[in-house]
A = this chain, B = another copy of it.
């Protein structure tokens, strides 16, 4: 049983502190004091040749002089004396040493040699090492605080950290929030025990529900992958060295190679490891995984007295793929009489300032069967939050704006093992990580409301109109029969393209309404028949004017230029690259009117794909002036034609000189 190998570190019957000190500003004093004040239940032996007693405990000159067995030792003496101390420990039968002292591999070649020597001596005697250059270990369940600061609260999360400070920050936050930890281990230089040994140990530790690891690089990639394969407890990792600069810094810090960051992401995704992006998310995720019940699905109802906080929560939820689904009629019915008539009967459910604990309680009880999670947001200190919430239920508790009452209520809830989050966004993002991707909704898009009663201009008329406003459109003619289409194709020269012309069909390509690259009269004739038939089949009520026969545009950079009217702000001009950069990556820019040349130019430089306009990777630079002109023309149309509510020029092809409109949609009020 591999985990038992580390048992002596976390449950020693006796501990020697080699380098214990009488002086309160020394770590050798601090650690001994924390062991004593933390309530260590076994024998404690300060070792210091110059002292008789420290903190009331008899001091020994050497670990070998101790009359009884010593199971574990903490070493805080200058680096050069450490190998000797380990030898003494080995001879004494000590099972494990925690070396706090720095000045080893992190400090250059001499330190490196010293560390190798220490490891060799330890191996000789079968002594395990944690560290050197570490911040010690803490197991509040033994209890054993061989670390600093003194933290004694028992919790559910084991923290393993390659950085003392990052681990200490986590411990501090868990302590401040009175949630505690199941253990803390500072890895230091990993001369022997590493993150994999500890993950294996905590996998079997009954007090640990979640393992949280801060990592700069794994020591052994193969063992690491193997442990991930068999791990059953949730593992949260904060892995630094994500950027080239961070990676170089990580490699100098750990003096070891770090794999490419993207590989870690892929590995974590494959094995269900929760990857935190920031230290704050690291904390939130560990807390959420330890104390939240994973929801059965993505439906969430927000219940609150704070309208503002609930809107922020709704935004975060939709961005994370949760479903802020409307109140089911059945629930709405059940809530009548329970909540005030002037409350907002929707999701979020705003109970207003008239809310009290009883009302919250009744709403929560009725709502639970209808949702996977209830997001309960407290604000004003008007209700006793801790009286309202239900332990062990699917409730996500958020409390903000409540000042002292908030802090007191939060601690009460934490004592009930109910986690409280300080902002809607942090709460929702944490919850969202607990839901498998396949249960999530597609991330909500920014949409413009589509006004009712709009009518679409026919495609041929649209081209005519655009040409009258100075746009160059692909050479096109209208055909209302297959024969006419063929005739036009001959006039234009093959290949040609056919587009269905109907004011009632908004998305032509969704019903086979665009046929490109037709090479012959026969192709055109059959395309005409197929397209009109398919259009009639898809939209039985649509009026079909026929088709537009166009020349094939020579290949250019596909753009989208558009105009839309916002109900509050008025006309908006929109720019993006065509195709997937708009649809899948939502890479667009927009401007309100009035639009001038400078702002139009700024717009086209704002999209992420902007380098393509400048002639990316050997492509030709496109005519930015012509694009600017196009945007300004759209702005002018918006001003002069109040009846036109939407223009969608998609695609426009851009060339080194000029732009050509290839397809267009114009909607009128």
Contacts and interface: CB of A to CB of B under 8 A. Distances in A.
A164 B257 contact: no
B266 A589 contact: yes
Interface string A243-272: 111101110110001111111001101100
B217 A249 contact: no
Interface string A200-217: 000000000000001011
Given A165-B380, A240-B315, A244-B318, A342 B308 contact: no
A155 to B, nearest CB: 16
Q: Counting chain B CB atoms within 10 Å of each CB, which of A249, A422, A584 scores highest?
A: A249
A533 interface: no
A458 interface: no
Contact of A580 (B248, B261, B317, B581): B581
A240 B311 contact: yes
Nearest to A424: B279
A435 interface: no
Contacts of A423: 169, 278-280
B260 A426 contact: no
A425 B608 contact: no
A241 interface: yes
B249 A348 contact: yes
Interface string A297-309: 0000000011111
B306 A164 contact: yes
Nearest to A317: B245
A612 B580 contact: yes
A489 to B, nearest CB: 21
A496 B280 CA distance: 56
B311 A425 contact: no
Given A447-B244, A580-B612, A611-B584, A161 B311 contact: no
Interface residues of A, number: 125
A401 B572 contact: no
Interface string A21-37: 00000000000000000
A246 B512 CA distance: 36
A228 to B, nearest CB: 11
Contact of A306 (B163, B241, B317): B163
Contact of A590 (B266, B319, B422): B266
B260 A448 contact: yes
A353 interface: yes
A472 B350 CA distance: 61
A1 interface: no
Q: Which 5 A-B pairs have the closest CB atoms?
A: A163-B308, A107-B342, A165-B379, A165-B306, A243-B318
Given A243-B315, A253-B311, A266-B589, 4 more contacts: A106-B342, A165-B305, A244-B445, A266-B590
